[in-house]
A and B are shown apart, each in its own frame.
Chain A
């Protein structure tokens, strides 16, 4: 019983570190980086008022949003949606591949679980839309769910490529087969896995309605779609929820294709248990840095591409991502059979 309590406490502490120590500051940082980076690309100044070089603009915006509307208008569908959303959120934090220490939960199907979360999240959005009782909300919800589910197929197929290569869907096995340097990454171990990595990343962009494929949750949908009437505090939760999707997907992409949490070889030789803890933090930092690069790349692309319409995104998924992922799965299977795997 004592060991159970101790392990439970340990899990709670680790989750708290992931949420408060890693995710929350990273969210603040990325909010600033996105705004300043987009401003630089578009010859604007960007946030400049609060703090040095506008660094605390996000904090000011957060306070303003929280003060805007009291949380008195609770309806059952809203509550249900947040509940399902947060359940997905908290449960997926347990299997984020942020390092060997912060990975609380690792099964034979770890790599496939994010897809289940996406399916649940899109289902919850569909429920919310259907319960709002307005035609425009129904159609908005169906659009969002359609885009998520269409992108689920190529993501699943590209994950199967990793499974074919590694022989397992377990994070530890996937991390072991990779290394710190580029040529040990799954992404660069075969041309088909490279293709699969790109497809995986792009399908995540479509799945979480991230820019430039965010027409389904754009401002016109804010006034007529699923998120109609969401303002003030509820908007804060919506933003955090959406950013978490991006964060989770980038971390998963790093884990599956980008060398996972592997540090350089010499660092893990002959260290004590106290150094092990600091090493696990180093692992998490490495994963975060890689995810940061992926996110900045996405911000860059979203500033130079026009926002795609929902039917364009679904077309793109069916006609480009699905064939390419099928090709990479077939190719990777043959590549492995001929002794390269």
Chain B
């Protein structure tokens, strides 16, 4: 009995060695066609960047490619869903009430690309669809401060707002 189990152990050991060798051999042979570029799918898939810049233009990028964000502030309601859902906490949005129109005035809308991970969650939750991905993907800067994208309209004082209120009927008449 004892001698049998010894042989069984040796057999199992040799078998595992054989399988290790065989799997290594198989994986080694998988890459050989890539080495010589045999077949259409085994050519280089990477592209030259940044020098020379790839022949692809922004229009050649995939439909769902997620580049830098753009917020159409005229359509933006200032609801703040994008800021709430952002996992990187990179959107800063501050709004002022606009009693006359009932809409919110988006005073500050800053996106910090130093934090943004371009996950696209903010675009998905945006109800008026004002926030969109562009196809622009080059965003390197020398200064940290330049990493901000600002779409806000700026703060408005009470006097300025009253002035606008007075101008509105005149515009409607014209």
Shortest distance in angstroms between B137's beta carbon and chain A's nearest beta carbon?
A: 20
| Contact of B15 with A by CB under 8 A | no
B31 lies within 8 A of A44 (CB): no
| B41 to A, closest residue via Cβ | A43
| Contact of B11 with A by CB under 8 A | no
A304 lies within 8 A of B48 (CB): no
Whether A41 contacts B44 in the complex (CB less than 8 A), given A49-B51, A304-B24, A320-B17, comes out as: no
| B51 to A, closest residue via Cβ | A49
A43 lies within 8 A of B46 (CB): yes
| Contact of B146 with A by CB under 8 A | no
Whether A301 contacts B44 in the complex (CB less than 8 A), given A40-B34, A41-B31, A42-B34, comes out as: no
The CA of A141 and the CA of B36, in the complex, are separated in Å by: 40
| Contact of A300 with B by CB under 8 A | yes
| Contact of B63 with A by CB under 8 A | no
- Looking at the complex, which one of A41, A42, A43, A305 makes contact with B43 (CB distance below 8 Å)? A43
Whether A303 contacts B31 in the complex (CB less than 8 A), given A43-B42, A43-B46, A320-B17, comes out as: yes
| Contact of B27 with A by CB under 8 A | yes
A44 lies within 8 A of B44 (CB): yes
The CA of A303 and the CA of B30, in the complex, are separated in Å by: 11
Whether A301 contacts B42 in the complex (CB less than 8 A), given A41-B35, A43-B34, A320-B17, comes out as: no
- A41 partner residues in chain B, CB cutoff 8 A: 31, 34-35
| Contact of B101 with A by CB under 8 A | no
What 1/0 mask marks residues of chain B from 25 to 66 whose CB sits below 8 Å from any chain A CB? 001101100111100001111111001000000000000000
- A49 partner residues in chain B, CB cutoff 8 A: 51
The CA of A40 and the CA of B31, in the complex, are separated in Å by: 9
The CA of A301 and the CA of B43, in the complex, are separated in Å by: 21
B24 lies within 8 A of A305 (CB): yes
What's the interface size class on A, roughly? 10 to 19
- B43 partner residues in chain A, CB cutoff 8 A: 43
What 1/0 mask marks residues of chain B from 91 to 132 whose CB sits below 8 Å from any chain A CB? 000000000000000000000000000000000000000000
Shortest distance in angstroms between B71's beta carbon and chain A's nearest beta carbon?
A: 37
Whether A40 contacts B48 in the complex (CB less than 8 A), given A304-B30, A320-B17, comes out as: no
- A45 partner residues in chain B, CB cutoff 8 A: 44, 46-48
B28 lies within 8 A of A44 (CB): no
Residue of A40, A48, A49, A320 with most chain B CB atoms under a 10 A cut-off: A40
Shortest distance in angstroms between B54's beta carbon and chain A's nearest beta carbon?
A: 11
The CA of A45 and the CA of B48, in the complex, are separated in Å by: 8
What 1/0 mask marks residues of chain A from 32 to 45 whose CB sits below 8 Å from any chain B CB? 00000100111111
Residue of A37, A41, A44, A301 with most chain B CB atoms under a 10 A cut-off: A41
B51 lies within 8 A of A304 (CB): no
Q: List 25 A-B contacts (CB under 8 A).
A: A37-B35, A40-B34, A40-B35, A40-B37, A41-B31, A41-B34, A42-B31, A42-B34, A43-B43, A43-B46, A44-B44, A44-B45, A44-B46, A45-B44, A45-B48, A300-B31, A301-B24, A301-B28, A303-B31, A304-B24, A304-B27, A304-B28, A305-B24, A305-B27, A320-B17
A-side residues, CB < 8 A to B, are 37, 40-45, 48-49, 300-301, 303-305, 320
